[in-house]
Amino acid sequence: MAQTRPDIELEYFFTDTGKELPEVYEYLGRLEGFLGKPIERLNPDRDFDFWLRQYKSFLPSPRTRWCTRQLKIRPFEQWLWPALDDGDEVVSYVAIRSDENYREGYSSTHPNLSVLLPFREEGVDKAGVIDILEASGLGLPSYYEWRSRSGCTFCFFQQKIEWVRLMERHPESFEEAKSYEKNAIEHGSPFTWSQGESLEDLARPERVEQIREEHRKRLERAKAKRVRNPLRSDDSEIDLDELYGQAKVCLACHK
């Protein structure tokens, strides 16, 4: 948008849950340098711990995604609504790709706010987004080296191999997620962060090796089934989205 629509006065924002990876903040800094403008950090007026208490220590999950509502959408609306109520007309440009038909994006509930999806309208898919980032010199955020999304450190949409990698790269964040889960279970929460097992069980050495082996076999099967692309070498890396199917993402979380 900054490069192709200089006629539009753009403001940039990031809804900061307070539970983000260090790599996210590093990339935001690089983005600000490229854009030549600051990115507004929208912090929730009440943090994750507050809302966890409000929800009786029940962890958020794919079925009860209160984290998105309270830590993402709520701060966005609190930031924007005063201007809308004063009569300003605002367009929110959301970077949902043309190949993300399963995502709907933010639905405006204010008459002065409209939502547009420029990537979808222009037919820009994942490969197109990567091309834009590479051409700009920014490239992909470094968390894509081991992760498929930019959500919170304890995002419940993570694959099990991503939990293992979080434990290795950011052990303090993994331990925090474990403590939240332990507290939730003690308070009767039916959910764990990773479907079907607790992080305590997932972190056992024998289980870690099993997850690694399952991931390795899945990777081998995916490479064997991959349709040869003459523009891509056969040994090019298969990312997690490709390996585990179309990754689900938190509404308003994934960038």
Residue pLDDT, tens place only, 140-199:
999 999 998 888 999 999 999 999 999 999 999 999 999 999 999 999 988 899 988 999
- Cite the beta strand spans of 48-112 per DSSP E: 90-93
| Statement: residue 249 has pLDDT above 60 | no
* Residue of 125, 166, 149 lying closest to 254 (CA atoms): 149
pTM score, whole prediction: 0.85
Residue 68 predicted with pLDDT over 50: yes
* pLDDT mean over 2-14: 90
- What would the pLDDT profile of 189-241 be if each residue is shown by its tens digit? 888 999 889 999 999 999 999 999 999 999 898 888 876 655 555 455 666 66
pLDDT digits (tens, 9 = 90+) for 102-123: 787 778 889 999 999 999 999 9
Q: Using the predicted structure, report yes or no on whether residue 99 has a pLDDT greater than 50.
A: yes
Phi/psi of residue 178, nearest 5 degrees: -60, -40
From residue 93, how far is each of 32, 106, 108, 115, 237 by CA, in Å? 17, 10, 12, 6, 31
**How would you class 57 by CB atoms within 10 Å of its CB: exposed for 0-12, middle for 13-18, buried for 19 or more?**
middle
Q: Residue 48 pLDDT > 70, yes or no?
A: yes
Dmax over CA atoms of the chain, in Å, equals: 60
Is the model's pLDDT at 246 over the cut of 60?
Answer: no
pLDDT at 242: 62
